[in-house]
Structure 1
Amino acid sequence: MASGTTRPKPRPGLWSGLLLAALLAAGCATPFDARKDAAYHEKAGSMDRPVVRPVRSISSFSDSLMCMDHMLRAAELPTTLIASKQFPDYSGKVPAATKEMVITALSQMSHLSNAFRYVDYEVDIARQDTVQNLTTILLNNNQMQLQRPALYVSGAVAFVDQNVISNNLNAGTSASRLDTGYSRSRNATIIGLEMHLGDFRTRTLIPGMDSANEVIIGSAGQGLDLAGRIGNYGVQFNVGRDYTLGTGGALRTLVDLAMIELVGKWARVPYWQCLMLDQTNPAFQRQMRDWYDASGFIGQIKLIQNSLEHQGYLPKGTGSLPVNNPMFRSALARFQADKGLVVTGVPDFQTYDRALRNFVALGEDGTLQRIGWANSGAAVATAADGTSKAAEWAAADPWAVNLQIENPQPANERPAFKQGEQVFLSATVSRSSYLYCYFVGSDGNAMRLTPNALNPNAQVSANQAVRLPDWMSPNPAFILDAGKPGTEGVTCAATRDDASPRLPAAMQVPALTLIQGVRGTEGLLQTFENALDKNDYVTQTIQWKVEPAAASNSARK
């Protein structure tokens, strides 16, 4: 029998693979049916939402800005109109809205003091928006007038020096079955900002009104690589971690610092006192975060509730409340609104930080230390003289009304007003309240100034000046002129809740109408005392003298 070649037998696996490839190719050529993915697509609406609540943007000098606001109010400076130039960044490395940060800093220094009013007008056609275009049209048709600013801010991101110092480390090992690798890198970048204050009338920069500061930001990273082999198989993985300090937060810090320096020098107030606050420590926020994480949920709630109780947002002796308690959530929301936080009614880190930051001080060793509290809750330490340090902090910000005359006056003097001269005042409250202000003439007659027809809502936020009258409005609700010679005054009452339903009928008359049956400041105070509990309201009265108007020249003749 002759020998011959044996034909190979067909392999079933090969044909199966070819058949599977053909099916896949046919499937790829067929369009998808979008209806089959409807249930999957339906989740996109919720999955597109952020998973972290928005928070207020702050810097190390946010508390210093509030300090400056109080300082400017105490100095009784009149309102100053101010503008700003654009802040170019010639390096192109800091893509941030520096001009808007300047406006925010000026606004935060004017909540109480009304120190600055920003004139928003842009002459660059390329930068003008709808509002600016409408302004130009109205100005050209004499339907609008702009007030000339007294000051303007100028400046720029002066330089960005990248990777001033850097360090890199790479190491690895290799064996028959195991390979390892380690890498580490660090670098630092310097950002410089220069700002100046100028006189708008002459378009000259005021000598000495300058600020030139720089801040260091950096980034670092490290990674580990492992690879191994077992027989013919291999495995490889790597882990790493990195951080980068952003340019936006660094620039806001520089802007806030520069504006404090410029305004402090211009107003001639001791601004350095506001820069000495412990909250300006760069490690403050990180230390507060460490304490927050170490406290745990139960400790966080106890600390926040104790702070709210100390500051008067919760009644004394309230005790522990669950997170969903309506009274606790309402107090928390009022506190968040008063402190400029995003109001959520939820005890998050921002609320924890704001509630306890005044109970932290610099220790003898230069580190931040807690005063009167620990991770598990308030543990008030008693000093040698028997006083409580935490109680002293809590008593520093009582519920109060602050009335102030805003007319330009000599320092520490209050000269009499001439008959017919306009009087300007402002009122602020230290907590969210319902505010009622009354004018009492020299004849003892009283009338309500606010709330009124233009501003019917009596509720006001904390640390927001209420102007009486609103001299920045072209159509104020009223004009306050000095009346008959004698003593006039304004009394403001801040109440915890809406007091209108509890006041007598005589007090329910419309605003700017004489109140029958109530005589003088004493009568107003007695009415509130009879209608409200003493713990539900606070008052303040400010008075001034009125002299007869000087005789005119024609009258003398």
Structure 2
Amino acid sequence: MTTQRTLRWGALMLAVAAMAGCASTENALKDANALLQEREADKLLPVTNLSPYSLALGRFGRMLDIYKEGDPVLYMQTRSILDATNLSSPLVGAEIPGDITEMVRTAVNRIGARVVYVPYHPDYLVSQAQLGAKFGVTMPDFLITGALTEFDRAIAGAGRVNSAGIEFGGGNGKVTMGGDMKRTAIYSALALDLNLVSFATQQMVPQIQASNVVKVLNFSSEDNASLGFYGDAFGFKLEGKYLQGRHSAIRTLVDLSVLELIGKATNTPYWRCIPNGTPDPVVVENMRAAYNGLTPELKLGLIQVTLRKYGEPVQVTQKFDDDTRRALEKVYAQRYASLGAVDVMNWDGFEPLFFGVPMAWENAQANAPSGAPSSPAAGAPAGGVKAGS
């Protein structure tokens, strides 16, 4: 009995000493200084506010430089892009931003010189005009409209609790030990809808829209441990919580949606700017219809223009001359040999050539377009390019 009592009081003294050491003034000051230095180190240099798709917008701008060389600049403007869920109201905690127009403007402006944003600040212009300033007016080609349309809390969740305990002894020598770990993950969803409006007609452009959803993780953890003796006990509890920022998630959503919207408007393979992107059926179908509607001469001209983007020195003659034939055979043999024999006067033969124009950020192994067929049609001979009627 004496031995058990000695062990009990010895353990209690060690626990008290450990807790006292953790709570000492010296240790508290040390921890506070370390935390302060960490926070100050983070504040020394500002960090560029980029979403995962910000770089994709820059790539898209370089893609437009290649695909739209010689085309006029596209001028864009936005209406106010607001929260349509009313969850930005202070009455419900202002959980999401109420106005993301500036995020949309920033995303448009990331693309580059071929897509120019036209600000709309009439009060400022009127004030400056009263002071004698003179302005030129640039009318936009398209107007971006939209809103934050969904915010669903806790659309999915999962949790796990692991507990363990042990008890031995009896009477005044009874000893209990235990612990548990708790993990909880909850997902919420935010959605953004953007549409494109023709400024000249004030009509929405059919099928040119972006509607995307991003999931936000709320993760919490809790660890408990305890050691108890008959009549005496001590323990500790650790808690942690990780909540992804909703504003950062919305910026990611905005950048992706602007990329999709303007990619569709320009009929360019914008999905190649995104890692593991998949072809957009709207763009593919628009290009199919446009190409099939061209005359044979215009098709040959487009083929020659596209070959020049591959670095082939062909002239745009709208005729299937020897230089054009040799350039086609070279490009298809190097990049699309698995397609077998193709007729570039048909969309199925021209599609890989158009969507596979080389981009600077792609390596040699990724030259083939993600939307191109990966194997020749059944019964097609290996190799060979023709321009049939």
TM-score between the two structures when normalised by the length of structure 1: 0.37
Cα deviation for residue 211 of structure 1 reads 0.7
Using the alignment, how far apart are the partners of 2:265 and 2:159 within structure 1?
Answer: 46
Match of 1:154 in 2: 145
1:64-83, aligned counterparts within 5 Å? 64-74=56-66, 75-76=68-69, 77-83=71-77
Out of 128, 134, 149, the position equivalent to 1:138 is: 128
Match of 1:486 in 2: none
Using the alignment, how far apart are the partners of 1:134 and 1:206 within structure 2?
Answer: 30
AA aligned opposite 2:81: F
**Cα distance, 1:48–1:96 mapped onto 2, change above 3 Å:** farther
Contact 2:196 2:261 in 1 (8 A): yes
SS in 2 for 1:95: coil
Out of 62, 75, 79, the position equivalent to 2:54 is: 62
Query: How many equivalent pairs are there?
Result: 227
Using the alignment, how far apart are the partners of 2:39 and 2:220 within structure 1?
Answer: 29
**Cα distance, 1:142–1:116 mapped onto 2, change above 3 Å:** farther
Match of 1:250 in 2: 249
AA aligned opposite 1:138: Q
Using the alignment, how far apart are the partners of 1:191 and 1:85 within structure 2?
Answer: 20
Using the alignment, how far apart are the partners of 2:316 and 2:103 within structure 1?
Answer: 36
Using the alignment, how far apart are the partners of 2:316 and 2:125 within structure 1?
Answer: 41
**Cα distance, 1:134–1:96 mapped onto 2, change above 3 Å:** closer
Using the alignment, how far apart are the partners of 1:96 and 1:59 within structure 2?
Answer: 19
1:535-554, aligned counterparts within 5 Å? none
Whose helix fraction is larger, Structure 1's or Structure 2's? 2
**Cα distance, 1:413–1:202 mapped onto 2, change above 3 Å:** same
Cα deviation for residue 80 of structure 1 reads 2.7
Using the alignment, how far apart are the partners of 1:73 and 1:179 within structure 2?
Answer: 65
Match of 1:104 in 2: 106
Using the alignment, how far apart are the partners of 1:115 and 1:159 within structure 2?
Answer: 32
Using the alignment, how far apart are the partners of 2:140 and 2:255 within structure 1?
Answer: 21
**Cα distance, 1:134–1:116 mapped onto 2, change above 3 Å:** same
Using the alignment, how far apart are the partners of 2:131 and 2:204 within structure 1?
Answer: 33
Using the alignment, how far apart are the partners of 1:188 and 1:151 within structure 2?
Answer: 35
**Cα distance, 1:49–1:164 mapped onto 2, change above 3 Å:** closer
Using the alignment, how far apart are the partners of 1:104 and 1:62 within structure 2?
Answer: 10
Using the alignment, how far apart are the partners of 1:202 and 1:136 within structure 2?
Answer: 26
Contact 1:81 1:149 in 2 (8 A): yes
SS in 2 for 1:72: helix
Cα deviation for residue 61 of structure 1 reads 2.0
Report Cα offsets for 1:61-93 as digits up to 9, x if no partner: 233212211111121232232211121112323
Cα deviation for residue 256 of structure 1 reads 1.5
Using the alignment, how far apart are the partners of 2:198 and 2:231 within structure 1?
Answer: 79
Q: What 5-or-longer segments of structure 1 have no aligned partner? A: 1-42, 124-132, 282-411, 415-462, 464-557
Match of 1:264 in 2: 263
Contact 1:178 1:227 in 2 (8 A): yes
**Cα distance, 1:50–1:154 mapped onto 2, change above 3 Å:** farther
Cα deviation for residue 173 of structure 1 reads 6.0
Using the alignment, how far apart are the partners of 1:223 and 1:48 within structure 2?
Answer: 24
Matched residues, percent identical? 22
Out of 84, 87, 90, the position equivalent to 2:81 is: 87
SS in 2 for 1:144: coil
SS in 2 for 1:177: strand
Cα deviation for residue 270 of structure 1 reads 2.1
Cα deviation for residue 201 of structure 1 reads 2.7
TM-score between the two structures when normalised by the length of structure 2: 0.51
AA aligned opposite 2:155: V
**Cα distance, 1:83–1:115 mapped onto 2, change above 3 Å:** same
Using the alignment, how far apart are the partners of 1:231 and 1:56 within structure 2?
Answer: 58
Cα deviation for residue 170 of structure 1 reads 4.5
Using the alignment, how far apart are the partners of 1:65 and 1:97 within structure 2?
Answer: 21
Work out whether 1:216 is the aligned partner of 2:208.
no
Using the alignment, how far apart are the partners of 1:192 and 1:115 within structure 2?
Answer: 28
SS in 2 for 1:56: coil
Contact 1:135 1:144 in 2 (8 A): no
Using the alignment, how far apart are the partners of 2:76 and 2:82 within structure 1?
Answer: 19
Contact 2:190 2:214 in 1 (8 A): yes
Contact 1:166 1:186 in 2 (8 A): yes
Cα deviation for residue 413 of structure 1 reads 6.8
Larger radius of gyration: 1
Q: What 5-or-longer segments of structure 2 have no aligned partner? A: 1-32, 89-94, 168-174, 279-314, 318-359, 361-389
Work out whether 1:51 is the aligned partner of 2:76.
no
1:295-310, aligned counterparts within 5 Å? none
AA aligned opposite 2:143: Y
Contact 1:165 1:187 in 2 (8 A): yes
Contact 2:82 2:101 in 1 (8 A): no
Report Cα offsets for 1:315-356 as digits up to 9, x if no partner: xxxxxxxxxxxxxxxxxxxxxxxxxxxxxxxxxxxxxxxxxx
Match of 1:165 in 2: 156
AA aligned opposite 1:224: D
Using the alignment, how far apart are the partners of 1:134 and 1:238 within structure 2?
Answer: 57
Report Cα offsets for 1:154-180 as digits up to 9, x if no partner: 111110111011223446567553343
Cα deviation for residue 120 of structure 1 reads 1.9
SS in 1 for 2:40: coil
Cα deviation for residue 48 of structure 1 reads 11
